[in-house]
Amino acid sequence: MEEYELRDVSYGEMDRGYESQWELMDDLFTWLDFLLYLFYKHHQWLGPKNDMRNMMGLVVSREEFEHNLTKAAQLGLVTQLDEEEADQLEGAEAAIQVRLERTTCTFPLLELFQRCGLDAFERSCVALAYAGTLDQKYEKLFAYLQDDITRKTPSTALAVQLFLPGDSTMEEYISRFFRRDTFTALFDQERLGAGQLVLCTTVLEFLSTGTVTPLPGLRLFDGKVETPSGPLVIGKEAARRLDVLFREPGARIICLTGGPGVGKRFQVEHLMARTGQRCIFVSLDCERPEERAREGVLAARLTGACLCCGHMEQQDGEGRLLPPEEKILQTILDLEPAHEKVFFLSQLPIRARLSRLTVELELPDPTEDERVDLFRAFLGDVPLEKGLTVEELASKFRFSPRQVELACRQAAGLARLDSDGIISSQRMHQCCYRQVVHKLGDLATPVRPAFGWDDVVMPQDQKKLLQHACGHIKYRHKVYSDWGFDRKITYGRGLSILFAGAPGTGKTMCAQVIANELNMEMYKINISQIVSKYIGETEKNLQAVFAEARKSNCILFFDECDAIFGKRSEVKDAHDRNANVEVAYLLQQIEEHDGVCIMATNLIGNIDAAFMRRITYVIHFPFPDAAMREEIYRRTMPREAPVADDIDWAFLAEKFQLSGGHIKNIVLSAAFLAALEDSPIGMSHLLRAAVRELKKNEIVVVREELREYADLLD
């Protein structure tokens, strides 16, 4: 080394500390270069007679093979140094230590040493591996010193030889790399198993940036510089209890349980913001949850953050959620999270015996009053269409805080694109239904409402009753919450309507009118998919229907409901018993359901008497008289349709005593007859269509009964 002189550490700067991490690394590079030079100097080379030293690692000569058999094992470097070399190395290390003690700034490397509790040997190993990443010159040095040109990273054996204390053995320190602890977690586990010291990507990122960037399923929330996504509108009591638990000394697991979107993670974010702490959020919904947990624990330790794990639930074969397994929870604790407080988020209560004290805090679904506050807070100052209130929205949509936030943000964003900036009722409901996730489509058929109040032709008493039923939903919050009826009526708050009448009298149409008036989606229940011949299957299907209806916030429409709402009979055999059980179970579901349920039947006499007590409104659909039939004819005809002047609406209504469903068929058939003849819809088309409609029901029309219109049949 006569031609090349090694650098010295900055002895002249010992009166001050390091001001940057790069300044520290520069001294560490100098110290490491000197250390590698000493190792090179005392390495048991093959000798000057070997003329293949430039090919070491690629070719093994006979002389090298024999030399390796006879040479002694390589010991720690410190035992091979002379007094002058040892003093020089000790002086360099002392100079670095003095400057470190006077350093007031914080660097990622120093934070890593402190938070991971590394000793001198472990700190040296980290510095060795990090130096090889920062400067490519070390790749060649490592390959040369390890007699293998393909080994460009330091091996665990090389690290032990370089940093082994004088009074220790190789076996003692080599075994350190086979443990699973805070130190070995800093390195790539696969490469470490192969004997290579390579820092994992999370550590390298932290050393370079001082933080960790978001990864799939892993995110850092810094309460000092970040703010939660929104204000803490509800859950003030839960927040207070979290503050108390977080301030209490000692290691604790804080379990937050509750349904999806109730604000478990949101509460933790607000806690971090109030206390100025950091938190690593880890989602374990992945193929390798243990590996994800290990990454989360490491990131939390490096950043000095709390650890918060969520999405730990399992699913059985039928898709039902199961509580988190005790194995994965204890695995996380065995990784030794640095912070004494660990958060577990779960939809179901955690039933496990863990090594740390566990405290569970349940976050219930928001009440209707809380949903009102949420809608009001997230809508802000964006005006709503006249007639639409946050109280109505809160009573219709049993949303979580997250769903309310997303629906309001979307509606407000779309309203800003309009000139008036007002959120219409239709748009607000559309944005709300976009937040709904359910499987009701597997058991029912969606019905798109196509009728309004102008299409309804029925006596005024029944029509007012329909309007009162709609008011049951619109003013639900005022009656139950503002007027205090929620303390008197603890169950059975849903709206159930029974439509009874002959076929074709408008029951299905009025169900669509109610759905249109309330801006709610409607699903028609397929009876064939509900009723089963197997014992218990019908009840299971009914439970699934009402469970999904609660998620979907929609209207359930049971057509021909007497098939499943029939009267209970005397028990004579097992079949009667099972049939009665089905009806009884359905009665319970109807009473407990707090949504909207509409049922239609042609045979009201077959409905069980106990079921009638649970119905909020019973509306009878009478067979239309002549005046009503004429009105139905006129309203069924679209304004755009070409209509001739020869139509005698009164004669059609008086002569053909048909229901509204039949009249709809007649008008539609007449329209196609007119289109075929390329003429306006006239009396001839309507008359022929009416006669055909009667023939379908085996009713014969005599020509003489048609009087002056008989010739129009020809």
CA nearest to 518, candidates 571, 474, 575: 474
How many CA within 13 A on the CB side of residue 170? 12
**Does residue 20 carry a pLDDT above 70?**
yes
Q: What is the pLDDT of residues 386-415, one digit of tens each?
A: 888 999 899 888 888 989 999 999 999 888
- Mean pLDDT of the 41-51 span: 57
Structural domain contains residue 5 = no
Q: Of 305, 339, 362, at which residue does a domain stop?
A: 362
How many CA within 13 A on the CB side of residue 565? 28
Contact present, 383 and 423 (Cβ < 8 Å): yes
Task: Note whether 600 and 470 are same-domain residues.
Answer: yes
Task: Note whether 91 and 109 are same-domain residues.
Answer: yes
Q: Of 621, 650, 681, at which residue does a domain stop?
A: 621
What's the confidence (pLDDT) of residue 187?
94
> pLDDT-based confidence at 694, cuts 50/70/90?
confident
Lookup: tokens for 246 = 């977080």
Structural domain contains residue 1 = no
> pLDDT-based confidence at 453, cuts 50/70/90?
confident
Task: Quote the mean pLDDT of the chain.
Answer: 84
CATH code of the domain in which 268 resides: 3.40.50
Q: Of 599, 621, 643, at which residue does a domain stop?
A: 621
Structural domain contains residue 6 = no
Greatest alpha-carbon span in the chain: 135
Higher pLDDT, 273 or 706: 273
Distance of CA 146 to the CA centre of its chain: 50
Contact present, 264 and 258 (Cβ < 8 Å): yes
Structural domain contains residue 636 = yes
Task: Note whether 566 and 607 are same-domain residues.
Answer: yes
Q: What is the pLDDT of residues 194-251, one digit of tens each?
A: 999 999 999 999 999 989 988 889 999 999 999 998 889 999 999 999 999 999 998 9
3-class secondary-structure state, position 238: helix
> pLDDT-based confidence at 668, cuts 50/70/90?
very high
CATH code of the domain in which 532 resides: 3.40.50.300
Range of the domain at 155: 11-209
CA–CA distance, 178 with 199 (Å, rounded to integer): 15
Task: Note whether 655 and 696 are same-domain residues.
Answer: yes
Task: Note whether 246 and 203 are same-domain residues.
Answer: no
For the entire predicted model, the pTM comes to 0.78
Structural domain contains residue 4 = no
Structural domain contains residue 3 = no
Structural domain contains residue 247 = yes
CA–CA distance, 305 with 128 (Å, rounded to integer): 26
Q: How many residues does the chain have?
A: 714
Q: Which residues contact 361 (CB under 8 A, 6 or more apart)?
A: 238, 241, 242, 245, 254, 255, 256, 257
Task: Note whether 249 and 355 are same-domain residues.
Answer: yes
Q: What is the pLDDT of residues 293-307, one digit of tens each?
A: 999 999 999 999 999
Q: How many folded domains does the chain comprise?
A: 5
Task: Note whether 149 and 261 are same-domain residues.
Answer: no
Task: Note whether 355 and 454 are same-domain residues.
Answer: no
Higher pLDDT, 271 or 545: 271
Structural domain contains residue 441 = no
CA nearest to 388, candidates 370, 408, 403: 408
CA–CA distance, 39 with 79 (Å, rounded to integer): 11
CATH code of the domain in which 690 resides: 1.10.8.60
Q: What is the pLDDT of residues 408-434, one digit of tens each?
A: 999 998 888 887 889 998 899 999 988
Task: Note whether 286 and 187 are same-domain residues.
Answer: no
Task: Note whether 159 and 192 are same-domain residues.
Answer: yes
Task: Note whether 373 and 357 are same-domain residues.
Answer: no
- Mean pLDDT of the 264-284 span: 95
Task: Note whether 21 and 147 are same-domain residues.
Answer: yes
Is the CA virtual torsion 284, 286, 288, 294 positive or negative?
A: negative
CA–CA distance, 657 with 662 (Å, rounded to integer): 10
CA–CA distance, 204 with 108 (Å, rounded to integer): 10
Angle at 281 between CA 275 and CA 285, to 5 degrees: 155
Residue pointed to by tokens 């070409």: 642
What's the confidence (pLDDT) of residue 113?
92
